[in-house]
Amino acid sequence: MLYGALEAGGTKMVCAVGDETGKILERVSIPTTDPEETMQEIIAYFKDKEIKALGIASFGPIDLDRKSPTYGYITSTPKLAWADFDIVGKLKEALGIPVGFDTDVNGSLLGEMTWGKYRGLTDAVYITIGTGVGAGIMSGGKLIHGMLHPEAGHVPMIPHITDKYRGKCPYHNNCFEGMASGPAIEERWGQRGEELSDREEVWELEAYYIAQALTGLIMTLSPKKIILSGGVMHQARLFGLIRQKVKDNINGYLRTKELSDMDSYIVPASLNDDQGIMGCIKIAMNELALTS
């Protein structure tokens, strides 16, 4: 059986067709311009693919409350052309199939939990640290939505005592995203992360913020695994620094087998950057199961 996958991002829309084993059979990338033009291209791509359902993992904020009149909408996004846009409704109408919907980071987490190295876990957090910072959360086998969906990229950070940087987030300044995203690194240090590879202090400070956020998530959600991805995490030495700082932050307070092996507790994604699009396939499968 074939399923459609749409990874909806602020700069590009990745459309793919896959099967129930998570195998991606074909894919295209469409630039995200205005909804009219972009949606037309997406619909044209999926139209004759004989897919049984479509799964969307989208940038947000989005409305995931099935009882809400704006369910399936991209809501208050700063990408204004897409604000209050009914992406699920449009695709459902055009394609005439079930359309599942979740956040981009929940989609990636679902991909990892279904087909990745750590599949089968029921309690995990997936964090992407790049242009923005976002977190997908699974608890007791369920992706967490709550009143909207988690926005753990915007939790407030305690600035490091040596850090005079104000923070990049237009809403909160010194939230996780404001202090640790790629654009925050660039603005603070005057150079892009890639050009700062040999500057130890840059990554020490970066790890300080990431570890602070992770410690909060560990104490709140008690995940069994934390998966870190995104452009900033390509700086491989960050993993070691983060693991050490999380351990220091916990300071012996929690004693679990997971925390006693930090190298397998805080880990990189395992699906070669296909976790997002594969997650969309699973979102489509779940939606089909729900509606049939």
Residues that bind Zn ion (CB under 5 A): 154, 169, 171-172, 175
Minimum gap (Å) between residue 185 Cβ and Zn ion: 15
* Alpha carbons 74 and 103: distance in angstroms, whole number: 10
Q: Quick one: 145 or 172, whose CB is closer to Zn ion?
A: 172
- Give the residue from 199, 276, 282 showing the smallest Cα distance to 8: 276
- On whether the CB atoms of residues 14 and 27 are closer than 8 A, the answer is yes
Q: Quick one: 105 or 169, whose CB is closer to Zn ion?
A: 169
Q: Quick one: 155 or 221, whose CB is closer to Zn ion?
A: 155
Minimum gap (Å) between residue 234 Cβ and Zn ion: 23
Minimum gap (Å) between residue 45 Cβ and Zn ion: 34
Minimum gap (Å) between residue 167 Cβ and Zn ion: 8
Strand pairing partners for 136?
126
- On whether the CB atoms of residues 143 and 110 are closer than 8 A, the answer is yes
Strand pairing partners for 3?
18
Q: Which bin fits 3, alpha (ψ -120 to 50), beta or left (φ > 0)? A: beta
Q: Quick one: 52 or 172, whose CB is closer to Zn ion?
A: 172
- 178 Cβ contact list (under 8 Å, min separation 6): 154, 157, 167, 168, 169, 172, 184
Minimum gap (Å) between residue 152 Cβ and Zn ion: 11
Q: Quick one: 56 or 152, whose CB is closer to Zn ion?
A: 152
Question: How crowded is the C-beta side of 115, counted as CA atoms within 13 Å?
Answer: 22
